[in-house]
Structure 1
């Protein structure tokens, strides 16, 4: 598999001149902030600066899209798992964002679907 997910990408941008400790602190801060995302707008606030820095550093969009291919695959797998793991009855009984729950299939006792919150978190972890 020829992807650059998790690899060092050499270049000459302003990011390469930053202090390595500062880059580690910012990376840890972003990882922590991902777990506080509850809405799509929060995810955009966290994601857009990263995309701008990448494009400003490399000045190319195509490599960014190739970097997003593997995380998109993992997010799709997590999405499919969440569809069959989360039950509508559990969501409505716990009253945890029941208004954001999307039921996809309806069986006699178990309605399967996914909440927008869990979909958002599964995507935000990889992007």
Structure 2
């Protein structure tokens, strides 16, 4: 999560500077997908990836696009799949969805500093959720 925080904070800032209406629409569609899946008690990984990829694509930087896609490809591994299934809940995803909306709002407002801060806050909260779940798992 720490590497993602550094890279994706900057991609959010770049998206605020360079994003186009179609990029903003793609981000909202991804959030809507996440919400729809969460409403059906399905983990919304598909929408989550689409959201983060839409942001990096809006940045217009090919190297960053490859980097962020690499982060997501690493989440497909068996270890992450097993850990994600244990630590992620619909409740934690609902919080993440709200965080995604704040990120998009800052990007659409064309406020790079706010977009970066919102992404950093999201990554920090994601790390806290994961860490808290990890500590609970070690106790049980």
TM range (shorter): 0.3 to 0.5
- Higher RCO (Cα < 8 Å, 6 or more apart): 2
TM-score with structure 1 length normalisation? 0.34
Instruction: Tell which structure's C-alpha radius of gyration is larger.
Output: 1
